[in-house]
A and B are shown apart, each in its own frame.
Chain A
């Protein structure tokens, strides 16, 4: 069976073979599923506090990315996951700040998602 274009996009993102410039294009893909995959991989490219980190943080905060993918998990949640999984200290700090300042109504779901994916426990009080 032919692989759908959607799956092709997801596969190419997760192959981690794309240069950052091309990867970024997928952050604007029509499908929230593709955007979710892309932001996680983009976050892996963060080396230091700089424009790329700001871009990922901005992506996470963008209300357009509050679309629920599965259960309570949204595209924005995936961006926070990407930050907290980063090897860059600044990214992880930014991720934690995002969790703390996350809208109250959705924070419990975000924390649940992060912890269910093995990140945490996320201490939002500290």
Chain B
């Protein structure tokens, strides 16, 4: 996770500088909405303001900003990733995070009141954005902000961090995969009804995990590493239904941070190749690790009339066909994860009555859903078999693929 280390501070934006925000940010000091119990409540006015402002592009930080006021922290809203996520989530099933997630609202309060070590206050724009955040989008926000803070710290030490490098760090960040998956799970109209229903049922669990991981991260960023576990445990206990999942999340984070220092080293870029069969190294070929399932899938494909081509040493993929079962290119030593991935594509096309490729080309969400569901098969398998260590990498592959299609990342050849 980004944001580890003793020299990191939570907030960028110096006290008294709030009024200097440029276009696209709300200016002036912010009076927090706080209930009598001291809890943050959603600021409806700010929300509406925020929506109105969303159309305004967020200016890139000036050099002066980077030096002094930490506007490196700013959200790259103009790039769409976060804002789309936040807005989409807020517009679907998720509620505002400030209303019920203790850890997040605690952070919001902290930001509003200023960082005790530096005395700085949160940028009004960032705060406004947070107030209409959901748990998932807030985690995304936190991650990105952490990475930017980290880069900011490096710049202060004289090392310039390029946008490209920042982007890669974001991709390599384990939590990026987590929030991406959680976000997709939340987005009711993004996935099919089955997944939407699943998302609704598991929302409290999801939120608990996010809250827990988030709280843990806050501990790290505040340079209170040893307290982070206690904070996270409190979060988990507060949401009892999800304690098991939350505890898993905590252990996962704790192992990364305190257990094996080397385990958080960035992966090589080429592990993100969308065609990489990550589970193969662990599981071996599907025909030997899961012979029955392998045989069953192959028989089903044959029975359905799918043209099967053995594409040794090359990519695996399912090619759609309008009005027909299509074709599939496989490798004899593919893992069961890769086979399930491509088989899922076939099943999805069949369920859609074989519309061919073109309808997907014209519908970005449908396209993305198709892609994501393939990766979800691999993630599900990794969970089933207890190889959770592969999940972040698979999620990164998924994120990479989505970014490639959106044109936000150059494909890795």
Instruction: List A residues at the B interface (Cβ < 8 Å).
Output: 1-2, 4-7, 10, 14, 29-34, 36-37, 67-73, 78, 109, 112-113, 116-118
From B189, B315, B327, B361, A69 is in contact (CB under 8 Å) with B361
Most chain A Cβ neighbours within 10 Å, of B317, B357, B367, B411: B357
From A2, A72, A109, A113, B84 is in contact (CB under 8 Å) with A2
Q: Are A67 and B411 in contact (CB under 8 A)?
A: yes
* Interface presence of B322 (CB below 8 A): yes
**Chain A residues in 8 Å Cβ range of B189:** 1
Q: Are A31 and B406 in contact (CB under 8 A)?
A: yes
* Interface presence of B370 (CB below 8 A): yes
- Some 12 contacts from A to B, beta carbons below 8 A apart, are A2-B84, A2-B88, A4-B364, A10-B361, A30-B406, A30-B408, A32-B405, A34-B407, A71-B326, A71-B357, A116-B320, A116-B356
- Give bound CA distance, A70 to B363, whole Å: 13
Most chain B Cβ neighbours within 10 Å, of A36, A71, A78, A113: A71
- Give bound CA distance, A10 to B320, whole Å: 21
Q: Are B319 and A116 in contact (CB under 8 A)?
A: yes
Q: Are A118 and B357 in contact (CB under 8 A)?
A: no
- Give bound CA distance, A32 to B367, whole Å: 13
How many residue-residue contacts, CB under 8 A, span A and B? 91
Kindly supply a per-residue 1/0 record for chain B positions 211-249, scoring 1 wherever the CB is within 8 Å of any chain A CB and 0 otherwise: 000000000000000000000000000000000000000
* Interface presence of B142 (CB below 8 A): no
- Give bound CA distance, A5 to B80, whole Å: 8
**Chain A residues in 8 Å Cβ range of B357:** 69-71, 73, 113, 116-117
* Across the A-B interface, the 3 shortest Cβ-Cβ residue pairs: A30-B407, A31-B407, A116-B321
- Give bound CA distance, A4 to B358, whole Å: 19
Q: Are B364 and A33 in contact (CB under 8 A)?
A: yes
**Chain B residues in 8 Å Cβ range of A29:** 407
Q: Are B320 and A71 in contact (CB under 8 A)?
A: yes
Query: For residues 340 through 370 of chain B, which have their beta carbon under 8 Å from a beta carbon of chain A?
Result: 345, 356-358, 360-365, 367, 370
**Chain A residues in 8 Å Cβ range of B88:** 1-2
**Chain A residues in 8 Å Cβ range of B363:** 7, 10
Most chain A Cβ neighbours within 10 Å, of B84, B322, B324, B362: B362
Give the interface size bracket for B toward A: 35 or more
**Chain A residues in 8 Å Cβ range of B322:** 116-118
Q: Are B356 and A70 in contact (CB under 8 A)?
A: no
* Interface presence of B91 (CB below 8 A): yes
Most chain B Cβ neighbours within 10 Å, of A6, A36, A37, A117: A6
**Chain B residues in 8 Å Cβ range of A118:** 322
- Give bound CA distance, A59 to B318, whole Å: 25
Q: Are B319 and A4 in contact (CB under 8 A)?
A: no
**Chain B residues in 8 Å Cβ range of A109:** 319
Q: Are B406 and A6 in contact (CB under 8 A)?
A: yes
Q: Are A71 and B361 in contact (CB under 8 A)?
A: no
CB distance from A108 to the nearest CB of B (A): 8
Given contacts A5-B80, A112-B319, A113-B319, contact A70 B361 (CB under 8 A): yes
Most chain B Cβ neighbours within 10 Å, of A4, A31, A36, A70: A70
* Interface presence of B17 (CB below 8 A): no
- Give bound CA distance, A66 to B365, whole Å: 22
* Interface presence of B115 (CB below 8 A): no
Q: Are B327 and A33 in contact (CB under 8 A)?
A: no
CB distance from A119 to the nearest CB of B (A): 10
- Residue ID in chain B nearest A1 by CB atoms: B91
Given contacts A1-B88, A2-B87, contact A10 B404 (CB under 8 A): no
From B80, B87, B324, B361, A33 is in contact (CB under 8 Å) with B361
Given contacts A2-B88, A71-B319, contact A7 B406 (CB under 8 A): no
* Interface presence of B76 (CB below 8 A): no
Q: Are B319 and A73 in contact (CB under 8 A)?
A: yes
- Give bound CA distance, A59 to B342, whole Å: 29
Most chain B Cβ neighbours within 10 Å, of A7, A109, A112: A112
- Give bound CA distance, A40 to B315, whole Å: 26
- Residue ID in chain B nearest A81 by CB atoms: B358
Q: Are A32 and B361 in contact (CB under 8 A)?
A: no
Given contacts A71-B318, A109-B319, 7 further A-B contacts (CB under 8 A): A4-B84, A7-B365, A30-B406, A30-B407, A31-B406, A117-B357, A118-B322
* Interface presence of B332 (CB below 8 A): no
- Residue ID in chain A nearest B409 by CB atoms: A30
- Give bound CA distance, A117 to B360, whole Å: 13
**Chain B residues in 8 Å Cβ range of A31:** 405-407
**Chain A residues in 8 Å Cβ range of B358:** 117
Q: Are B370 and A32 in contact (CB under 8 A)?
A: no
- Give bound CA distance, A31 to B408, whole Å: 7
From A32, A37, A73, A113, B404 is in contact (CB under 8 Å) with A32
* Interface presence of B109 (CB below 8 A): no
- Give bound CA distance, A10 to B364, whole Å: 8
